[in-house]
Amino acid sequence: MTLEHNNVVRLSARDWAGIIGVSVTLLTILGSAYLTHDRLLMQLVTQQESINRRLDKIEAKIEAPHR
């Protein structure tokens, strides 16, 4: 990084490589966290659907003799 006479900062290729490296690292971490969160939510939804099906079956068995 160099500072010119008119207060303009010029970044070298090494500076840009560092900025890109940090950006890619952050995006990778955020992407990984998003995928993990999405997978956990899908597991939760699947479990809820399974519980709802079981609950419906139990309710049907309880209500069947009363009809």
DSSP letter at 8?
-
Name the residue with higher pLDDT: 66 or 3.
3
pTM for the whole thing? 0.65
9 pLDDT higher than 90: no
CA-CA distance, 45 to 26, in Å (whole number)? 28
Query: Phi and psi (nearest 5°) for 8?
Result: -100, 130
Mean pLDDT of the 59-67 span = 81
Which residue carries 């940090």 as its tokens?
22
Let me know: does 1 contact 11? Beta carbons within 8 Å.
yes
pLDDT reading at 32 higher than 80: yes
Task: Examine the pLDDT at 36 and tell me if it is beyond 70.
Answer: yes
Pull the structure tokens for residue 11.
Answer: 């970044």
